[in-house]
């Protein structure tokens, strides 16, 4: 439906815990569509609602040609781990190795409120964990060891985008009849 601006590191919405979705309505379907369009346009392996300024527990993913979404996720993680490169659309051009569970079982809902279980390993497991962290106000740099986090923050401070003012996007609470956001 629409490609929305992605919030960058430093935006307070990225550090807040998102609220549970309770209404599975047209507005939620529009949000999932906007998240998917924005993620694919970026492109990225995943995108969480807080990254476009919406404080709801919703994310999308695109891994290995599979595109999906999950609402109100609950994760069960394997004891086996993987250590590999991770990046984030809210931290452009930053990629640092991060420790994650090797396999994940994610239970939640689809955009119609039907129960949904997604199982994945490797990159899909990494994407699901990363996006679920966003819903809890956690960024992947928070999961790095002290030395890696220090290096990540150095790269962030040197990035061209760091400190740029984010545009304020206001969404009308009233039907717009297709005009405006």
Is-contact 39 1, C-beta < 8 A? no
Is-contact 32 66, C-beta < 8 A? no
Strand partners, 76: 105
The whole-angstrom separation of Cα 102 and Cα 96 is: 17
HSE-CB for 144 with a 13 A CA cutoff: 19
User: What's the distance, CA 147 to chain centroid?
Assistant: 25
Q: Could you tell me the end-to-end alpha-carbon distance of the chain, in angstroms, rounded to an integer?
A: 10
The whole-angstrom separation of Cα 21 and Cα 109 is: 10
Q: Which residue is catalytic, options 20, 114, 119, 131?
A: 131
The SS3 call for residue 152 is helix
The whole-angstrom separation of Cα 32 and Cα 56 is: 11
Q: Is 131 a catalytic residue?
A: yes
Question: Which residues are annotated as catalytic?
Answer: 131
């Amino acid at each position: 439906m629409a490609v929305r601006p992605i919030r960058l590191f430093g935006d307070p919405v990225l550090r807040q815990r998102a609220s549970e979705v309770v209404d599975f309505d047209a507005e939620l379907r529009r949000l999932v569509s906007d998240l998917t369009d924005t993620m694919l346009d970026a492109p990225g392996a995943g995108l969480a609602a807080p990254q476009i300024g919406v404080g709801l527990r919703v994310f999308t993913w695109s891994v290995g040609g599979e595109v999906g979404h999950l609402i109100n996720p609950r994760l069960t993680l394997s004891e086996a781990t993987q250590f590999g490169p991770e990046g984030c659309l809210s931290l452009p051009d930053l990629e640092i190795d991060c420790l994650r569970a090797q396999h994940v079982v994610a239970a939640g809902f689809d955009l119609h409120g039907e129960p949904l279980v997604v199982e994945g390993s490797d990159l899909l497991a990494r994407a699901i964990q990363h996006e679920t962290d966003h819903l809890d106000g956690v960024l992947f740099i928070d999961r790095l060891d002290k030395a890696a986090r220090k290096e990540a923050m150095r790269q962030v401070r040197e990035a061209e985008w760091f400190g740029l003012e984010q545009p304020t996007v206001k969404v009308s609470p009233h039907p717009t009849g297709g005009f405006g956001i």
